[in-house]
Structure 1
């Protein structure tokens, strides 16, 4: 594997000695991989982190809310949350149930305010010794993603599954065309080059030199939709991973996959795709409600079913990680409040119990220097104010952990959810004590 610990550390020391970048000495230590586990400097790195997809939006100078951003970063840091999974930016922004404004409103055209927001977010994270996992595309329509590239390149109206005239099957059939759309793939590769080639306006650091960026992630939940999509998907994924490795060989690369759920429930496909030496670690996601494990009509009974199924899903993916000798991160998992209520007053007791079960699994891995290295809950909403009755996100509303296609507050951990935050802090104090701000 190309990211051997001592080589990366030597590179970091060399860069620091050059003194050519004004903020070099304030960068976090690089995250590297040795013997199948993450290292921060000379110590193993395990973490409970968060999904914070909207960070660049509230970090923007003009349309953002930097006061809120600073408060949320400080709150997360105080609970040891030092690993944030972040959307680089949305595409299109023309569909209902979609992130607005978009970083790329039209193909190849960029919103400079949102680029500034990404720079500002990374600069503030660096001050707090935090790490970003940046995903560059999205399988799902909520941020535009692959479907936006198809619409831009003449594939007709996006089959938006949140509109009555389209089904999810329609959306799947539409979106899988991205893998065989040459101009779409080329445009996305140009986007990758543009983002990775950027220099942060606040730190003066090239993104490729910024150790705040722990990993480039190909996309959010890229998937094989049908048997006929297998080969085009494999070809596309290899193309993107090759480019990431070429453009930034010193930053880790991950896919953003849900696990076998991204590959027609085929664990062998998951293993095969992640065996590439240019993919540095594995990812899996966990959605008990969406996957039919959790039933609000039998919350206690289905909670235990959810935990049992989660353990089985984790175990089989960890076995793959062990075979490939690579770390694996549970980079998404979400759980609703009692009765799927959007009210902040609703109980989070079941959520906390599910979270604790997953954190316990991570703690055991930490104690045994195992491959399961991290868990990013979905998602952190901090000080967002949501309409607890309407649910639907509208322009002008605060961004929260739930993206616009979901009821706002459904899976979000807010600043007021003290029991959940204390649970996160408790486990970070065990597995990632340096990250907990005293």
Structure 2
């Protein structure tokens, strides 16, 4: 946990970063701006209750998309974090279909699905944050760019022959591979430079896009030795990619998509240095008490209070880091199992509701106090989607996409349309934020 000494060390680390020129621009109407530790929209503060809807492009051609967006909008959700990439991969749990394959053949249905999603998001006055690859295997991601460029070598996440943390150490090789990064940058140019086939508007000129993220949960490795060796290339990747995006879409915000301390070997200095570039507009943090051992999922009742306490402390640590950096903060992923760690929709979500209320109340308190925590996106919206198999597992060929991605049981963390108590919390907090 962070203390005064570690904060001082973090300050020194951030001060040691080389000064970089600010990319000045005049922002047209309708685009979200960053001003100090705040977001603004047309001169007014912009803060929000948001959701993760990573699969928006996958359902872009379905009537379901509009129904899901209407349900979210009715609950006051105004910001969506969605995937703008997926690499066709032999990795065990990678999603199908994918945006593109090793030969850079693109799936037109997904591209136009993303177009439809952005058009529908814009119609409802919502904003989207789009991430452009994934550190994890479930959408192909960095490991797939590596295997495309290293002769086909890869490690499957969760393979007993390659126990944790071999997978993140392997994926860190992405930052040290110029050819893999160039393949990824080519995808960025294709997506950020795209013209929406539904609206006719270039993505770079679309105010429905709040910003772009370099990746979902990028981290520099899994062990201290690998992280220390990789840091120069990791920082260079952040800077070069953020500046590439800014050159293509100067009116949009850019963030890393990082988890915060848990993705930074618990080093405050690494959190600050990885988000210090002037082209990175705001900080992000993710909160996963059930994945990090704070919540014992075999004894949820006995460990729930501890999990909430540690989660609240974790959020506050990132508030202090963002305040120190002079940038806004969004808690853009947080999740909790249904009671008893079961997936059936008949089971209560009362413990999850406690976490949602705590994090969204922290945003409200920060906004009222003028602090840097200005938004949150819960993970994730399942809506009307339902698991298609008795084991709650996604299988290749399934079309009922849920917020729980292919490597996780469907129903583990996602919020369904029938989860009334959770939706009541979301709506109430959204109404409070809107009134500030």
Task: Normalising by structure 2, report the TM-score.
Answer: 0.90
Whether 1:75 and 2:77 are equivalent positions in the alignment is no
Aligned to 1:20: none
Aligned to 2:431: 429
Q: 1:272 to 1:169 in 2, by over 3 A?
A: closer
Give the Cα separation in 2 of the matches to 1:350 and 1:304. 9
Give the Cα separation in 1 of the matches to 2:24 and 2:67. 34
Q: 1:3 to 1:131 in 2, by over 3 A?
A: farther
| Greater alpha carbon shift after TM alignment, 217-226 vs 314-323 | 314-323
What whole-Å deviation, never above 9, does each CA across 1:13-57 have from its counterpart, x for those lacking one?
xxxxxxxxxxxxxxxx21112232011222211111001000000
Q: Is the 8 A contact 1:107 1:152 kept in 2?
A: no
User: In angstroms, what is the RMSD of aligned CA positions?
Assistant: 1.6
What whole-Å deviation, never above 9, does each CA across 1:62-120 have from its counterpart, x for those lacking one?
xxxx2111110000000011100001021014332111000012242211110000000
Q: Is the 8 A contact 2:95 2:138 kept in 1?
A: yes
- Where 1:375 maps in the other structure, the secondary structure is strand
- Where 2:330 maps in the other structure, the secondary structure is strand
Aligned to 2:155: 159
Give the Cα separation in 2 of the matches to 1:340 and 1:107. 41
Q: Is the 8 A contact 1:332 1:377 kept in 2?
A: yes
Q: Is the 8 A contact 1:33 1:39 kept in 2?
A: yes
Task: Normalising by structure 1, report the TM-score.
Answer: 0.90
Q: 1:76 to 1:433 in 2, by over 3 A?
A: farther
What whole-Å deviation, never above 9, does each CA across 1:367-393 have from its counterpart, x for those lacking one?
112100111000001100114631210
- Where 2:165 maps in the other structure, the secondary structure is helix
| Greater alpha carbon shift after TM alignment, 295-304 vs 80-89 | 295-304
Q: 1:88 to 1:250 in 2, by over 3 A?
A: same
Give the Cα separation in 1 of the matches to 2:126 and 2:23. 23
Q: Cα offset for 1:314?
A: 1.3
Q: Cα offset for 1:164?
A: 4.1
- Where 1:332 maps in the other structure, the secondary structure is strand
- State the number of aligned residues: 409
Q: Is the 8 A contact 1:344 1:388 kept in 2?
A: no
Q: 1:319 to 1:335 in 2, by over 3 A?
A: same
Aligned to 2:208: 212
Mapping 1:320-399, distance limit 5 Å: 320-387=321-388, 389-394=390-395, 395-399=397-401
Q: Cα offset for 1:173?
A: 2.8
Give the Cα separation in 2 of the matches to 1:74 and 1:120. 15
Q: 1:381 to 1:433 in 2, by over 3 A?
A: farther
Unaligned 5+ residue runs, structure 2? Answer: 1-21, 222-226
Q: 1:177 to 1:430 in 2, by over 3 A?
A: same
Give the Cα separation in 2 of the matches to 1:173 and 1:203. 42
Aligned to 1:248: 249
| Greater alpha carbon shift after TM alignment, 183-192 vs 305-314 | 305-314
Aligned to 1:120: 116
Q: 1:397 to 1:110 in 2, by over 3 A?
A: closer
Aligned to 1:270: 271
| Greater alpha carbon shift after TM alignment, 401-410 vs 37-46 | 37-46
| Greater alpha carbon shift after TM alignment, 159-168 vs 422-431 | 159-168
